[in-house]
Chain A
Amino acid sequence: MQHPDEGTIHAWIDGELAPDDAAALEAHLAECPECSALVAEARGLVAASSRIVSALDIIPGDVIPKTVPPRRPWFASTQLRAAAAVVIVAGASLLVARNGEVKKMERAVRATAPSQVSTPAAEPMLDSASNEISAAPVPSAITPARTRASDSAPQNAPEKALEGKVAGVRELKKETANDAIKIAAAPPPAPAVQSSGAHVIADQVTGLKPEAARDSARNSLAQRRRFNASPQLDQVVVTGVATLTAPMPMKKLRADSTGNVTIYEVSPGVEVTLVDNGLQSAAMLRASAQSKEKQMAMPPPSAVPAPKGELNSISWTDKRGHLIVLMGPFSKEVLENLRQRLPLEQR
């Protein structure tokens, strides 16, 4: 027999060769190592082909991220976190530029590098200040804003300064426990804030009393070069919210393919996410959100503390009966305000 062609070898492997032809081929293979090698190769091709064709049946499951919103931990997006930082910096910049009084404060904000929050020098001071003042009446409505530049010993600071500081400290603790907005970088107009790590604490500020804080700051901290007091600093009151209270239309930035998730722009660079869960009942959604909470790190819509204190969400049922969840780097109050700027049918 001549050397068989490749088609014949495949036909033989497939069992499709007529018995006579098969017998002749087998006899040839017994004495032709070259053709035996070809058969071995052909067997490999047959097996590999089957395997490759079977691979066509693999239907991609979770490899490609799904567009269904509840399954995706969207809030982990660095974009969103970056956006949160941007709005705070932007708000701070605006306010730094303002002179005089700041009338409305909704939030205490610490402008500092995070590592400095627990500076050994700062912590004992916080505690001792709290203890000392716990007996004293808490200033009622109006509390002067303080820089925590008054990091010096409490006895050096005027009493009034101390009061303010303690109120600020309390506020700071409260906010930290909840969802204080943290500023990682200070706005350019107030470089002193960043370089010194001074804490700017404000609460219901209507008037600022700069002298005491500034003096004490200069006395102690300036020497340690931890605080480079700037006259401007007295006006540095960071709300992170002030930019939002101005009537600004919510611009629809984009929506996902299902139309269930919509990103709105609150102000340039700041976004909130609206999730339309359709006609699901609220109870159902909460139940499913809670069941997924552990594995997905997904907060139930009504969760009070947002993950890492940076995001909050509110939820409600709109006029069409859809369960809507609005999420963003704001307090619930602000989110409620933003809700009023949504398209009518989703409010």
Chain B
Amino acid sequence: MTDVERLFRTYNAALVRYLTRRLGDRDWAEEVAQETFVRALRQDNITNERAWLFAVATNLVRDEARKDARRRQHLALLAAEEREREDEVEPTSLEQAQEAAFARKAVDSLAERDRLALLMKEEGLGYSEIAEALELSPGSVGTTLSRARRRLVETYEALQREREMREKNAAS
């Protein structure tokens, strides 16, 4: 098993999940993850594999977002078509769909660095790895995460309250 295969098997799932959560687009996420592993092939001496992979993936997203919005749109379209074709999609309750929409809004409301730190933490990266991937000082990761979590939860709860208010108004 080559090194890149090992990297792929070890980290692909987490990386794709991280990127999907970040981008809201599974196809795009997989493409970025693959590109990340291709770059890992060319790179010697990666000290912290996971931090390196997450850092490169994050930078790829940033670069691509800047340079290729059109291609991204196309990919999003393809992904949507793919989903339409999928027969085996689990039926989603309205509640779940609502929850996902609120979660997306709340995550999008975070500052980019806070959001990335939080998503990396959720993938199991340690503070030092997050610091390395995002070029933060290790001491500031706790503060970054605490800010991200508070903001995320408060935004999410505000969205829920809004909906409850709307439903109450609609009912009365």
A residues whose Cβ falls under 8 Å from a Cβ of B: 5-11, 14, 16, 42, 44-46, 48-50, 52-64, 66-68
* B113 smallest CB distance to A (angstroms): 14
Q: Which residues of B contact A45 (CB under 8 A)?
A: 146, 149-150, 153
- Asked if B127 lies at the interface with its beta carbon under 8 angstroms from chain A, I say yes
A10, A52, A66: most-surrounded residue (chain B CB, <10 A):
A52
| Residue among A14, A49, A60, A66 making CB contact with B92, cutoff 8 Å | A60
The distance in angstroms between the C-alpha atoms of A52 and B155, with both chains bound, is: 11
Is the CB of B156 closer than 8 A to any CB of chain A?
yes
Nearest residue (CB) in B for A15 is B126
By the criterion CB–CB under 8 Å, are B121 and A14 in contact?
yes
Could you pull out 7 A-B pairs where Cβ atoms are within 8 angstroms? Answer: A9-B142, A42-B149, A53-B21, A53-B119, A56-B24, A56-B104, A63-B92
Taking CB atoms, residues of chain B closer than 8 Å to A56 are 20-21, 24, 100, 103-104, 107
Chain B contact residues, CB within 8 Å of chain A = 17, 20-21, 24, 26, 83-85, 89-94, 96-97, 99-100, 102-104, 106-107, 118-119, 121-122, 126-127, 140-150, 152-153, 156
Residues of B within 8 A of A42 (CB): 146, 149
Measured in the bound complex, the distance between the Cα atoms of B92 and A66 in whole Å is: 13
The distance in angstroms between the C-alpha atoms of A54 and B24, with both chains bound, is 12
Task: List 15 other contacts, CB 8 Å, given A53-B122, A62-B92.
Answer: A7-B141, A7-B146, A8-B142, A11-B127, A14-B142, A42-B149, A48-B149, A48-B153, A49-B122, A52-B156, A53-B118, A59-B89, A61-B90, A61-B91, A63-B91
A63 vs B106: C-alpha distance in the bound complex, in angstroms? 21
B21, A57: Cβ atoms under 8 Å?
A: yes
Q: Is the CB of B142 within 8 A of A11?
A: yes
Which residues on the B side are within 8 Å of A59 (C-beta)? 26, 83, 89, 92, 100
Q: With A10-B145, A60-B97 as given contacts, are A16 and B127 in contact (CB-CB < 8 Å)?
A: yes
